[in-house]
């Protein structure tokens, strides 16, 4: 079952999300974070998932001065365009990895190949 965001837990859930985003921020070179929402099985109750996320985004953005962030849905193209623009404006460079990415393990006994 999908827990519902409501007036009783909205502020706390926003605080937890922003706390996590700020923790992840240290791994990025620009102010733009890519945070995938969901996974293969997350949207069985998509309407509820998006309703919850819409409330979080609205509350965070309505209180951006308090939270110190703004947040939005984005396509990958929009995300990379924003990263590229900020990097170009601030002479930010990125390392290039030329090795092999696969096989990939996302936990102790799950390996992914062929993607």
Kindly report, residue by residue over 78-99, the tens digit of the pLDDT: 999 999 999 999 999 999 988 7
Confidence (pLDDT) at 115: 56
User: Within 10 A of 104 (CB to CB), how many other CB atoms are there?
Assistant: 10
- Is the CA virtual torsion 87, 89, 92, 93 positive or negative? positive
**Strand segments (E) across 1-115:** 104-107, 110-112
Maximum CA extent, the chain:
48
Cβ atoms 67, 17 nearer than 8 A: no
Question: Whole-angstrom Cα distance, residue 12 to residue 58?
Answer: 14
Confidence (pLDDT) at 36: 87
Cβ atoms 56, 3 nearer than 8 A: no
- pTM (2 decimals)? 0.81
Cβ atoms 33, 25 nearer than 8 A: yes
Residue 75 is classified by DSSP as -
Average pLDDT (99-108) is 75
């Amino acid at each position: 079952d999908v827990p519902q965001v409501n007036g009783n837990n909205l502020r706390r859930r926003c605080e937890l999300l922003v706390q996590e985003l700020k923790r992840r921020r240290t791994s990025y070179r620009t102010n733009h974070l890519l945070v995938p929402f969901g996974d293969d099985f997350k949207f069985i109750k998509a309407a509820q998932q998006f309703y919850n996320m819409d409330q979080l985004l609205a509350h965070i953005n309505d209180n951006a001065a308090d939270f110190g962030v703004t947040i939005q849905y984005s396509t990958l193209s929009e995300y990379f365009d924003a990263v590229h623009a900020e990097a170009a404006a601030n002479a930010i460079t990125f390392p290039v990895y030329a090795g092999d990415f696969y096989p990939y393990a996302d936990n102790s006994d799950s390996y992914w190949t062929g993607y």
